[in-house]
Amino acid sequence: MSPEEIVAGQLDAYNALDLERFLGHFVDDIPVLTFPGNELMTDRSGPEFRVKCQELFDANPGLHVKLVSRMVHGRIVVDQELVTGLSSGGARSAVAMYEVGAERIERVWFVS
């Protein structure tokens, strides 16, 4: 699969709130960072990412991301997104950058 197809697959799984399918698009020790490189999650063994995603899905049963735009440059995929269905109400804009390997996403940055 191409980097774009892998990122699209994780977005579909996210919108379905399908944790196992969503996590299957990421390497087990996924670094999650804020751009340009500060770590959001310090546990690089994977459990923290799983727990945070499960908490997010559980707390926001109407969670949905609309893809506003996508740019692909080799292994890097940049998504501009509109996040809705948050339990706090309203919507928020987000930008996520993914570095994709041969089969899974290897690194994620969120631009704040």
Please tell me the predicted confidence (pLDDT) of residue 39.
62
Please tell me the predicted confidence (pLDDT) of residue 37.
65
- Taking CA atoms, 81 is separated from 71, 94, 97, in Å, by 12, 5, 11
How far apart CA 76 and CA 92 sit, in angstroms, is: 23
pLDDT digits 0-9 by tens, 47-68: 788 999 999 999 999 999 999 9
pTM equals 0.89
**Under a CB-based contact definition with an 8 Å cutoff, are residues 18 and 6 in contact?**
no
User: Hey, where are the domains in the chain?
Assistant: 3-111
How far apart CA 98 and CA 4 sit, in angstroms, is: 10
Topology of domain 3-111 in CATH is Nuclear Transport Factor 2; Chain: A, (3.10.450)
